[in-house]
Amino acid sequence: MTNSVPPLALEAELAFVPIGTLRTEAGADITDVTIAYQHWGTFRGDPHGANNIILVEHALTGDSDAADWWCEVIGPGKALDTNTWCVISTNVLGGCKGSTGPASTHPDGQPWGSRFPAISIRDQVAAEHAFLQELGIERVHAVIGGSMGGARTLEWTLMYPEAVSTACVIAVSARASGWQIGIQSAQISAIVRDVNWHGGDYYTTGTTPVDGLAAARRIAHLTYRGEQEIDERFGSQAQRGENPLGAFRRDDQRFAVNSYLEYQGLKLTQRFDAGSYVTLTEALNRHDIGRGRGGLIKALASSEVPTMVVGVDTDILYPYHQQEHLSRNLGNLLAMAKIVSPVGHDAFLTEARQMDRILRNFITLSTPDGLELGTAYIGDEYYI
């Protein structure tokens, strides 16, 4: 198999790989699982050894179109240079962008709905691992991801260290904190209290729990953005043409920030499935590197994959001390980087200049002696 070329689809094209039945960590079977993916750049090297694959992991409501949502760092000449690297990104198990999730069709022809089991971050990684194996890929040069993508990246280094040469873990923690579980569960609660939720089996009712999903996003968005950034943008300004200071409170007379948050909620309902939102949020609640591995500290210490940790100084959802905790305890820390930004958690998506510098540094650190890939050689051009 050495030096065989994985049968990748056309560049950028959304493609689907069946991986069969997946038994979840909690013991349920998901049959006929499909993983959707896209890739950019040409594969080089050995699919079982040194190669140029960078696996990019998306966040909660992201998708496999990493060259879109991370367009400032993925592409020709960019930090993750697709002239050099083969960037692969999958849609997560439980999602709604091509991979199997609650909105997908069960083998019996009906939607999975409430029959879709609870999944963990580990289940997501197991599915992605099975996907790579289906393509004949036994090893990747790097896994990179932020937020829920960072949780998957961290699990990759512990579940399949032999398959990962280096890792870059961004804006996440070693396990869900009590505060995170609390705020994430408040979001789940907003959805399941929507009368259109129907216990998760709304797909055939002609209605969807849009109000609940929008409410969830509204709460979530306030954890994705820094409080100073929100205030600098909106302060206590009225939405144009509306008067939030009238004699009676009215839902249609809003502060500008509420118009913004309602718009964020509405946008999400137009592109994302509530069932997937609940499933993936529940997976975040279950994120715990220490489970079954002797606890957090032992698990982190056991990590052998050279790992870079990145955080944001104003992150409300995954405060920077959580990345400091990772850095102090990871068995093979490659480097640590702090994004300084008023933007908060989302800064890894929005602070292009800083992410460019950080990811170029990661690439340099991850290829200290260059990377010989048959006729190709990757290395020098990355040294700063």
For the CB of residue 124, give the shortest distance to a copy of itself in the complex, in Å.
15
Q: Is 315 a catalytic site residue?
A: yes
Quick check: 35 and 17 in contact, CB under 8 A?
yes
**Residue 175 counted as an annotated binding residue:** no
Quick check: 339 and 313 in contact, CB under 8 A?
yes
Active-site annotation holder among 315, 325, 327, 366 = 315
Is residue 189 close enough to count as binding a copy of itself by CB under 8 A?
yes
Indicate which single residue of 9, 14, 28, 210 sits in contact with a copy of itself (rule: CB under 8 A). Answer: 28
For the CB of residue 116, give the shortest distance to a copy of itself in the complex, in Å.
9
Write each residue from 115 to 144 as x if it is in contact with a copy of itself (CB under 8 A), else as -, in one continuous string.
--xx-x------------------------
Write each residue from 273 to 292 as x if it is in contact with a copy of itself (CB under 8 A), else as -, in one continuous string.
-----xx--x--xx-x--x-
Map tokens 């949020």 to a residue.
Answer: 281
**Residue 380 counted as an annotated binding residue:** no
DSSP state of 296: H
Is residue 196 close enough to count as binding a copy of itself by CB under 8 A?
no
Q: Is 345 a catalytic site residue?
A: yes
Instruction: Tell me the C-alpha distance between 314 and 214, whole Å.
Output: 24
Instruction: Look up residue 234 and give its two tokens.
Output: 């909106």
Indicate which single residue of 162, 251, 369, 380 sits in contact with a copy of itself (rule: CB under 8 A). Answer: 251
Q: How many CB atoms lie within 10 A of CB 193?
A: 12
Instruction: Tell me the C-alpha distance between 359 and 72, whole Å.
Output: 11
Active-site annotation holder among 104, 120, 147, 165 = 147
What are the E-state strand segments in 129-243?
140-146, 164-170
Instruction: Tell me the C-alpha distance between 118 and 26, whole Å.
Output: 8
Q: How many CB atoms lie within 10 A of CB 60?
A: 19
Instruction: Look up residue 114 and give its two tokens.
Output: 């409430």
The phi, psi pair for 80, rounded to 5°, reads -95, 85
Q: Is 39 a catalytic site residue?
A: no
Binding residues for a copy of itself, rule: CB under 8 A, are 24, 26-28, 114, 117-118, 120, 175-179, 181-183, 185-186, 188-190, 192-193, 195, 211, 215, 218-219, 221-222, 225, 227-228, 230-236, 244-249, 251, 255-258, 261, 278-279, 282, 285-286, 288, 291, 316, 319, 321
Residue stretches of the annotated binding site for substrate: 217, 346
